[in-house]
Amino acid sequence: MQKLFNFFKKNPFILILALILVFFTPQSLFAPGENRERAIVIAIGLDKNEDEYEISFLTFIPTPNQEFKQTNSVVSGIGSSISEALLNAQLTLGKDIGLSHAKTTIVSEKMLENDISPSLDYLSRVVSLPENTVFVCTNSSAKDLLKATSSLEENLGLKLDQLISYNANEVYVSDTSLEAFYQGYYSEERASIIGYLEYVEEENSQSQSASGGASDVEGDSANQKDKASQSLSSSQTEGTQGEEKERGSINGQSQILNNGEAVLLKKGKKVAILNIDNLNSINLLNNKKSLDCIKINQVKTEDDKTVDMVFEVKNKYVNIATKIQNKIPIFIADVNLGLKLTEIDTKGQEVKSNTQFTEINQEIASKIESKIKIEFSQMLQILRENKADVINVYDTFFKQNRKQFLDFYNNLDDKEDYLNSIIFMLNVRLQPDG
């Protein structure tokens, strides 16, 4: 005993460690599992119905099973504010929510009629919604999309954030995360782009996907089992497979259409939807994006046949310069494209042409150039109309001609409308690739 006493006297911190173990180990051992007190949210949806907000969570429920299947559930809460809706959703769930794993945030178009930032601010600042969550808008309600997503994951193993990440890397060529939204929102331009996914019901989905040529991913198809849905005064809980009762018109089929579209936001509000051509024109100025197809019609071949041709952009080099001439800013973009002829639509004619080596003659060059310029000017028109500079014109001038540009900028009556006072010059140079 004396030895032990001396030992602790010599090493008092071992005694402290022992005390900590004595007090905290039983508490930790007998505490209930974290998942019994906290729900893991993997996606979050925000909707607005008149004066009420609806917040929906796609939650992951850890349950022991032998199928390696993940059980998800959509839970929602309604309230006059985001915090109240969140609280109601938690009441329904009977658990606190943890948003650290929320990889997708979906908002309905209606939410974007007003500045979305204050709503998101609460979520990211107070309840720790991570800024790397992928930020997506949908035409329908966010809740419906979440439900469709849930079954999408169950049936195809395809996660929504993976779908959007593909868009972000290949179509938008920029982040469409909450962080990217905030970067645009707090910048001088106050404009940003976020992803857009269409939610369609069976009746019109077939026609849309056929006509639009868009990729569509089917969800909810095999999940017709009835599942209990419970509702409280201001909130609802639904299983992944049992929402059809509530939406009689769905008839068991719902689809998520990924057209590669994006939403243009100005000051946190939706101002336009950008189609894939608009996005390609935006990406024309982006060195990172090179994979693209250009189709030109009515081209004459060597043997005097008229065909349509498809060229693939194999490589691209863009040089952007700015100058101020007579106090007018000029934005000059030199775009060098390496093209490869990949497809010829002969329209039923017999064409004898060697497609091994791409040749770009005067006619082809002029048609491609004119197509690129028309699409670019259409895109520019949208940006000018909405005063939304998502092609970093302000940044480029600020970095290259700061003093002269600020003189010009500070003298503008409407500073937000600077895109309309800038001259854009697009020089396209085409080269055959390979």
Partner 1 sequence: MKSISARQTGIILFLTILANKILLLPSIMYEKTKADSLFVMFLFFAVELFVLWIFFALKDKFGNKSLKDVLQNLIGKSFAKFLLFVFLIFFLFKTMLTYSVIYVYLKDLVYQDEFGFLALICFLPVVNQGVICGLRAMSRSFELFFYLVLAGIIFCLSIAFFTNVSFPYFFVSNPSQIFNTWFTYIFSFGDYLVLFIFMDKIHIKKGEKKKILSFVFLGIAIVLSIFLIFYCKYHDTAFMHNNALADLLVFSVQFNAVGRLDIIAMVTIMALGLFQMEIFQFAFCESFVMVFPKLSIKYAVAVFDVLFFIVYFVLIGKYELMIQLTTEYLPYFAVISNYILPILIFALSFKHKKEVKDAKTI
Point out which residues bind partner 1 (CB under 8 A). 12-13, 16-17, 20, 98, 103, 124, 128, 130-132, 134, 161-162, 165, 168-169, 174-177, 179-180, 182-183, 186-187, 398-399
**CA 430, 431, 434 angle in degrees (round to 5)?**
150
Pairing of strands 262-266, 328-345: unpaired
Residue 132 C-beta: closest distance to partner 1, Å = 4
Residue number, 161 or 220, with CB nearest to partner 1: 161
Read off φ and ψ for residue 371, nearest 5 degrees. -65, -45
Residue 345 C-beta: closest distance to partner 1, Å = 37
Residue number, 176 or 259, with CB nearest to partner 1: 176
Residue 286 C-beta: closest distance to partner 1, Å = 11
Residue 32 C-beta: closest distance to partner 1, Å = 16
Q: Which two tokens stand for residue 70?
A: 């993940």
Residue 177 C-beta: closest distance to partner 1, Å = 5
Residue number, 132 or 155, with CB nearest to partner 1: 132
Residue number, 95 or 373, with CB nearest to partner 1: 95
- Write out the DSSP string of 133-190: SEEEEESS-HHHHHHHHHHHHHHH---HHHHHHHHIIIII-S--BHHHHHHHHHSSS-
Nearest to 178 by CA among 241, 249, 111, 103: 103
Residue number, 24 or 317, with CB nearest to partner 1: 24
How remote is the C-alpha of 163 from its chain's centroid?
9
Q: How far apart are CA 104 and CA 130, in angstroms?
A: 10
Q: Which two tokens stand for residue 320?
A: 């952007």
- Which helix (DSSP H) or strand (DSSP E) does residue 217 occupy? strand 215-219
Residue number, 352 or 403, with CB nearest to partner 1: 403
How remote is the C-alpha of 404 from its chain's centroid?
36
Query: What DSSP state is assigned to residue 66?
Result: S
Q: Which two tokens stand for residue 218?
A: 């089917």
Residue 6 C-beta: closest distance to partner 1, Å = 15
Please give the C-alpha separations between residue 6 and each of 2, 16, 18, 21, 22, in angstroms, as whole numbers: 6, 15, 16, 21, 20
Nearest to 75 by CA among 44, 98, 48: 44
Q: Which two tokens stand for residue 312?
A: 């693939």
Residue 332 C-beta: closest distance to partner 1, Å = 20
Q: How far apart are CA 95 and CA 84, in angstroms?
A: 15
The beta-strand segments (E) located in 275-305 are 292-300
Residue number, 162 or 315, with CB nearest to partner 1: 162
Q: Which two tokens stand for residue 407?
A: 């003189």
Q: How far apart are CA 345 and CA 202, in angstroms?
A: 33
Query: What DSSP state is assigned to residue 129?
Result: -
Residue 133 C-beta: closest distance to partner 1, Å = 9
Residue number, 194 or 294, with CB nearest to partner 1: 194
Q: How far apart are CA 258 and CA 240, in angstroms?
A: 21
Residue 154 C-beta: closest distance to partner 1, Å = 19
Residue 82 C-beta: closest distance to partner 1, Å = 17
Pairing of strands 235-239, 96-98: unpaired
Residue number, 44 or 134, with CB nearest to partner 1: 134
Residue 89 C-beta: closest distance to partner 1, Å = 17
Residue number, 96 or 203, with CB nearest to partner 1: 96
Residue number, 148 or 168, with CB nearest to partner 1: 168
